[in-house]
Amino acid sequence: MNCYIVAYVGLLLINVFGALTYLIASVHNGIDNLSGTTFGMSLVCAIIYTPCSFVCWYRPVYNAFK
């Protein structure tokens, strides 16, 4: 069960690094877009969804199968 949590957190971290890359590339190319919002939302998702997924999904499922 813990491998799912690690995989999900890894996926969220890949999302943060991808959004950071998008932010840096758009700043260097002078593109006027919402890359800052994308990066901010990826950070919010990584910070909020990780503990919420554990408390609201993985722990109840683990207890149900125990």
pLDDT in tens, 14-49: 999 999 999 888 877 766 678 888 999 999 999 998
Contact 46, 16 (CB under 8 A): yes
User: What are the domain boundaries of the chain?
Assistant: 2-65
pLDDT score for 40: 92
C-beta atoms surrounding 42 within 10 Å = 21
Residue of 62 and 14 predicted with greater confidence: 14
pLDDT score for 10: 92
> In this structure, what is the dihedral angle of CA atoms 5, 9, 10, 14, given to the nearest 10 degrees?
150
Side chain identity at residue 26, one-letter code: S
pLDDT score for 55: 81
> Does residue 53 surpass a pLDDT of 70?
yes
Contact 39, 22 (CB under 8 A): yes
